[in-house]
Amino acid sequence: MDFLRPASWEEALAAKAEHPTAVPIAGGTDVMVEINFDHRRPEYLLDLNRIGDLSEWEVGEDSVRLGASVPYTKIMENLRGELPGLALASHTVASPQIRNRGGVGGNLGTASPAGDAHPALLAAGAEVEVESVRGSRRIPIDAFYTGVKRNALAADELIRAVHVKKADGPQQFSKVGTRNAMVIAVCAFGLALHPETRTVRTGIGSAAPTPVRAKAAEEFLNAALEEGGFWDNGQIITPSVAKQFADLCSAACNPIDDVRGTASYRRHAVGVMARRTLTWTWESYRGTRRLTEGAA
């Protein structure tokens, strides 16, 4: 195995162009596990740690440009206001040591349905900035996940950053694991209210071959909120609406039975999380709750 250590982004792109099978490594929290378990044995490892730019972020007018290697700890500490859903998701990633190393770029690169960042990115709305020697492009998050542990990257492309829309309303993230900390997701759910567009977006993790949005649930809720004038009157969402939203989120799942949980549990749990996160965000939107994220 050859270990490539480009000193700059340009060198990294050149290396990736020359060795399309090279596996990029930043925090190593995913890649090293795979190597240690002998699940993969890449010909080349492309170490991105010398490229400082990848660990920086920039808060723009509408969105945050988050370098691919910005560790989860930094997101929790610095971007809670702009990216509340992603900050909550970051909280649930593994252990403090791993949160100090791992970043969203790794989650996107691996594209495992169990990656904690995905539901938050789907709910917030995001674009993945990827680049190769051929040029740069932005892939909408909805088009990014193409299959089980597969993404829309070309062989010569690297993830440089992700542009996440700044929260224009309350966001929530919930994850079920069978331990109270440091646990891989059995399933996860992200929800964001977008009062500016009067829409709701969702993200489901570990309950389908890829991270997915519950689009039918979103459409139903968007229509129900509009119809009832909820965005304006700020009334409590009726339990029947919340229940139907939850049921549609469950229906958006395509889960499997595995050692972490049954398919029917996943479907059930996504529904519960959908209902609860909708309640929390909506209460927050109505301004009746001082804090909706849960203090931690």
Partner 1 sequence: MASPSGTPTKITQGSQTKGGIGESTLRPDGTLKVTGEFAYSSDMWHEDMLWGQILRSTVAHAEIVSIDTGEALAMPGVYAVLTYDDLPTDVKNYGLEIQDTPVLAHGKVRHHGEPVALVAADHPETARRAAAKIKVDYRELPVITDEASATAPDALLVHENRDDHHAGHVPHPNIVHRQPIVRGDVTAARERADVIVEGEYTFGMQDQAFLGPESGLAVPEEDGGVHLYIATQWLHSDLRQIAPVLGLPEDKVRMTLSGVGGAFGGREDLSMQIHACLLALRTGKPVKIVYNRFESFFGHVHRHPAKLYYEHGATKDGKLTHLKARIVLDGGAYASASPAVVGNASSLSVGPYVVEDVDIEAIALYTNNPPCGAMRGFGAVQACFAYEAQMDKLAVKLGMDPVEFRRLNAMEQGTLLPTGQPVDSPAPVAELLRRVKAMPMPPERQWESSEGADVRQLPGGLSNTTHGEGVVRGVGYAVGIKNVGFSEGFDDYSTAKVRMEVLNGEPVATVHTAMAEVGQGGVTVHAQIARTELGVTQVTIHPADTQVGSAGSTSASRQTYVTGGAVKNSCELVREKVLEIGRRKFGSYHPAWATAELLLEGGKVVTDGGEVLSDLADVLEGEAVEVEAEWRHRPTEPFDLRTGQGNGHVQYSFAAHRAVVEVDTELGLVKVIELACAQDVGKALNPLSVLGQIQGGTTQGLGVAVMEEIVVDPKTAKVKNPSFTDYLIPTILDTPTIPVDVLELADEHAPYGLRGIGEAPTLSSTPAVLAAIRNATGLELNRTPVRPEHLTGTQLSEG
Distance CA 153, CA 221 (A): 32
Q: How many residues line the site for partner 1 (CB under 8 A)?
A: 45
Q: How far is the CB of 30 from partner 1 (least distance, A)?
A: 11
Answer yes or no whether residue 265 interacts with partner 1 by CB under 8 A. Answer: yes
Q: Are strands 171-176 and 158-165 parallel, antiparallel or unpaired?
A: unpaired
| Binding residue (CB under 8 A) for partner 1 from 7, 38, 61, 147 | 38
Interface stretch with partner 1, choices 7-15, 24-32, 105-113, 271-279 (CB under 8 A): 271-279
Q: How far is the CB of 269 from partner 1 (least distance, A)?
A: 6
Interface stretch with partner 1, choices 7-15, 45-53, 226-234, 255-263 (CB under 8 A): 255-263
Answer yes or no whether residue 264 interacts with partner 1 by CB under 8 A. Answer: yes
Distance CA 237, CA 228 (A): 9
Q: How far is the CB of 139 from partner 1 (least distance, A)?
A: 28
Q: Quick check: 148 and 209 in contact, CB under 8 A? A: yes
Instruction: Name residues contacting partner 1, limited to 76-105 (CB under 8 A).
Output: 88, 91-92
| Binding residue (CB under 8 A) for partner 1 from 174, 199, 210, 250 | 174
Distance CA 70, CA 164 (A): 13
DSSP letter at 70?
Answer: -
Tell me the one-letter amino acid at 40: R
Q: Quick check: 154 and 276 in contact, CB under 8 A? A: no
Q: Quick one: which H or E segment has residue 121?
A: helix 117-124
Q: Are strands 135-140 and 150-151 parallel, antiparallel or unpaired?
A: unpaired
Q: Which residues bind partner 1 (CB under 8 A)?
A: 33, 36-38, 88, 91-92, 172-184, 186, 257, 259-265, 267-269, 272-273, 276, 279-280, 289-296
